[in-house]
Amino acid sequence: HPPREEPEIAIDGPRVVEVLDDPGLDGTFISIDYRTPSRNPGTFGGEQLDLWDSLITTIITNRVDEAITSGTSSLVRGRGEPFNVARRMSFIGFNLDGPDLAEGTGEFVSLMKTLARDGFSPAELERAKEAERANLERELAGIGTRQDAQWADLYTQHFLGGADASDAGDRRDRIIALLDTVTTSDLAGYFRWLMENSEPLVLVVGPDPAELPTVEELEAVVDTASAADEQLEQVAVLDALMDRPDPAEPVAVRTLEAAGGQEWAFENGATVIFAESQIAEGNVDIFGLSEGGWSLLPPAAQPLLDPSVSMVASSGVSDLSKVAMDRYLTDKVVYVEPFVYETGEGIQAQASPEDLEVAFQLIHLYLTAPRVDDSAFDRVLLQQTEALRAVQNRPQVAANQALTDALNGGNLDRNPLLDRAELDTLTPDLALDLYRQRMQGVDDLVLVVVGDVGQGAVEDLARRYIGTIPARQSDTFADLVDPRQPGVITVEETAGPAGGAGILTMLFTTPTAYNDVDRVHAQILQAVMEERLFTKIREQLGASYNGGSASVSFIDEPDAESQLFINVAGDPDRLDEIRTTLLGELTDLDTAGPTAAEYERAIAVIGDNYNFISNGDIIDQLLEESTEDGPVLTNQAGFSIVADTSRSDIARLADRVIDTDSWIEVFVTPAR
């Protein structure tokens, strides 16, 4: 092979200021990048520059985020990171957004000049170092269970981009040793030199030119931005998120068959289940569910619950400011997020074993002392506005929404889709009230903990932080779904820019009870269908790049039914042809079942799947055993069902789930 030519970029290139309008975008953003010195990442000097760039972008991101959170910034969101276009083309880059794009640009350029003049405080440098150390420790803790796909990705990045592929322990020791040598004066000196030699590359983008500044206005803002007299906000240093409650006594304890799980039930109605697992070393996964969801709210409030939950998740808790919380969590490996759906609500979380108590504290606080900060309200409102615009810009989003609307069938008691008028009624107080209605307190919460930690530690945390949450009135979900109308429902929509792909979505539903054998057979049928989509739609018809996707599943909430979902992105002028081909294949599967070759290949694929198990699989099994009657579909049980499955079994399932007389179909074509 000829020697690789690696382009280098001069750090002292010209300033660039551009404004672009693109009607296909969902929202606006500000991109501000700075060239950084060319380096070979495989050398000591290159590694040191990478570390310095990482520390600097972390410090600046923290500054921006804290200003947004405390209400002193015109921006709504912002984050930065170093990146490489090639081995020797390096940058530090920042993506920002706010209601006034010119003002936000000027504010950020001013911050960069202020930091170049004043440098960084020892405290903020130490927080950035703590974040680096936490990431290194987590990487090292999980190295023993890193998956093949992760190794392949790392080696690809190493050979193509120079990414570090050295031993994780050596890398940790080497980077931590480098971290210990970094001083505020060294980092500030490098950053000051960078700002003196590297001109900003400023790009402001949005869908509507009327909402964008002109290039001249943006250049004037960048030219006049100057260093400010900025005082860092004094924030109380937290020793803990909360005091440790006295442990509650469980009212019942039992051992589950799935994964040897241990279950503790408490007087408040909550249940905690634990199974030890070293599938992912140094990691603990948490997942909890409770019945209810937005089905119990009035129709006008139903679509507002999800953004309200997001607002709480982005705010502080109790009397703790978000800034103080984020600083406390800097060196913690912990993630906690509440969520909601039609028939329930829940918590998903992840933590290192050392930080598991912090995760339990956050769960406790989200369920006892939520709040909605103004900055979180503004940020989520912007995200929801972009989501609404995506319905016009993205064919797949438009197809999903049209399908949801068609499934609802004009049901006035059920309102799954958020519109602009409803979003405009949302206030911080209303968001907090809706959240409290569904997520403050516990009644039937089942929280499953699976990971690399001991049973005694989890039992103590469960008794202290889950068993002590106040109980609320018990409830279950409301079945708001009307019976499906027979026949074919066709919906046609227009979305996306001219020249884009079209979308054909089809959904077949059949009311039916099901068991574990049906669930496994559904996976096999799905594998058969996805092979046919690839072969017929992509290879033979040539009307789609990837052939599309299929899903065959059973649900039990709010009603038990089978669902066959097919989605194809392809040539918008050939959607009718794709539909005809799909119906032909479905009719063939409905009447004749899979071919022998299709059956054998699908059996092999699904059998292999049951040879792999994750913490998520164990969580599903423990939830199933705790909340439902009957045997649990373990991996071993699934593998046995696969081994006992015949081709006629899959043919019978195809006959059950494919109703060639009744379905919903959605056609989405781009603008002409």
> Which secondary-structure segment (H or E) carries 51?
helix 44-70
Which has the minimum average pLDDT: 71-80, 84-93, 661-670? Answer: 84-93
Which has the minimum average pLDDT: 11-20, 81-90, 426-435, 448-457? Answer: 81-90
- Answer yes or no: do 136 and 270 share one domain: no
Domain membership flag for residue 7: no
- Answer yes or no: do 190 and 96 share one domain: yes
- Answer yes or no: do 138 and 169 share one domain: yes
Q: Per-residue pLDDT for 560 more than 60?
A: yes
pLDDT of residue 53: 97
- Answer yes or no: do 209 and 328 share one domain: no
- Answer yes or no: do 196 and 321 share one domain: no
Reported confidence tier of residue 499, pLDDT bands at 50, 70, 90 = confident
C-alpha of 421 from chain center: 27
- Answer yes or no: do 533 and 606 share one domain: yes
pLDDT of residue 573: 95
Provide the CATH number for the domain around residue 325: 3.30.830.10
Domain membership flag for residue 294: yes
Average pLDDT (468-475) is: 97
Q: What is the mean pLDDT of the chain?
A: 93
Domain boundaries, position 178: 16-224
- Answer yes or no: do 313 and 456 share one domain: yes
Average pLDDT (401-428) is: 95
3-state class (DSSP) for residue 415: coil
Half-sphere exposure of 221 (CA within 13 A, CB side): 22
Could you tell me if 312 and 372 are in contact, meaning their C-beta atoms sit under 8 angstroms apart?
Answer: yes
- Answer yes or no: do 196 and 268 share one domain: no
Number of domains in the chain: 3
Q: Per-residue pLDDT for 270 more than 90?
A: yes
Domain membership flag for residue 381: yes
Q: How far apart are CA 33 and CA 28, in angstroms?
A: 17
C-alpha of 292 from chain center: 23
- Answer yes or no: do 336 and 298 share one domain: yes
Give me the percent of the chain exceeding a pLDDT of 90: 83
φ, ψ at 47 (rounded to 5°): -65, -35
Average pLDDT (423-452) is: 98
pLDDT of residue 231: 66
- Answer yes or no: do 532 and 461 share one domain: no
Q: Per-residue pLDDT for 7 more than 70?
A: no
pLDDT of residue 144: 67
Query: How does pLDDT run across 513-555, given as a tens digit for each residue?
Result: 999 999 999 999 999 999 999 999 999 999 998 889 999 999 9
- Answer yes or no: do 143 and 28 share one domain: yes
pLDDT of residue 1: 46
pTM: 0.90
